[in-house]
Amino acid sequence: MNLETPKKFRALVNQAHQVAHNVFRPISRKYDRAEHAYPKELDMLASVLDGFNDGNPEGGAGASAASKSGARKDDGGVKNGANMSTLLGTIELCYGDTGLLLSMPRQGLGNAAIAAVASPEQKERLKGKWASMAITEPGTGSDSANIRTTARKDGDYYVLNGEKIYVTSGERSDCVVVWATLDRNIGRAAIKSFVVEKGTPGMEVVRLEHKLGIKASDTAAILFTDCRVHKSNLLGSEEINVEKGFAGVMETFDNTRPLVAGMALGVAKAALERTRELLSSSTPLDYATPVTAGSAAAAELYQMEADWEAAYLLTLKAAWMADNKQPNSKEASMAKAKAGRISNDITLKCVELCAALGYGEQELLEKWSRDSKILDIFEGTQQIQQLIVARRLLGKSSAELK
């Protein structure tokens, strides 16, 4: 595994960095204050990304391209594909603004779910759709296996009933990937994911949430009442395979958790860089001098840089494994846990180190500290990631280690 940015992705990384600086940063505070207002400036940018993805399907800049299961010739060589390019682009774009990245049309986390488990026919039919992801329910947060939304078979249709909350881009997206159970008595093996298109009778966005951070991104609660979804919109097999259990739908997380880790790395990178700039006159960094011989502020910066580098390498590994069709569930959770935690720690410490400048709205440091918190929560909390890693390391099932 080569730890340098692959040559074929350097243009993408540079492009994403320019977007972060020249498009996201100038409007970041505007949409932080105007919660739920759609950032119209993103429409043109989304068209550019669409064109980029069409011209280079292995180098997509958004979550829609992330997949371990795409049709691709496997010649036994090492590959840097869509997962790696998406991760690198995500880090740079979140260096600009995480909420704006999450507001990008047709780049939703639901798109990653479709890329991970949809059939070729479904991928073609849903091409160009903006898909959000609906998993969390009232009383069912971190334990995704405890889904209460039901899907009852009725001829060629499934009838969905239940409520989903904290759906990112739930109001703006074209369709929603909904997790529902075919039979609650069977347990997690009966959980399937369905693509429900906007305008389907029985699906209603009932409210938008007011949040601590990522305010540019709309977060919705959606109610499903006798919502009829054709069986062709079921992702994966209709069969309930008790032996395989939850593995099919959970493969989605193996793709998306490294991307969320990338978001955390991006916002932490922004905070670290700005803090260095603000402290440069009073806190020179000399890497040839022992930590104990410098200032306390410099020592804090050194430690944060080391933590960031560790999280970055873990995240690169998880994406690289996905591109090379290696099971990466443990590595995806390790990356998400480490990056989520260090992002929270770094952004808050940067606010502290910069004192009044860090706490005031003339700088984006306080905003980055608010935005970073969700990155340690959604797609599986810190505690859930550590539990998954423990299960993988100890060879325990979810029933054996809770």
Residues forming the active site: 379
The encoded tokens of residue 381 equal 């909390």
- DSSP conformation letters of 168-206: ETTTTSSEEEEEEES-TTT-GGGEEEEEEETT-TTEEEE
Long-range interactions of 163-166: CB distance < 8 A, separation 24+: 163/137, 163/138, 163/221, 163/222, 163/223, 163/224, 164/134, 164/135, 164/136, 164/137, 164/221, 164/222, 164/224, 165/136, 165/137, 165/138, 165/209, 165/221, 165/222, 166/136, 166/209, 166/219, 166/221, 166/378
- By residue count, the chain amounts to 402
Which one, of 251, 260, 389, lies nearest residue 325 by Cα?
251
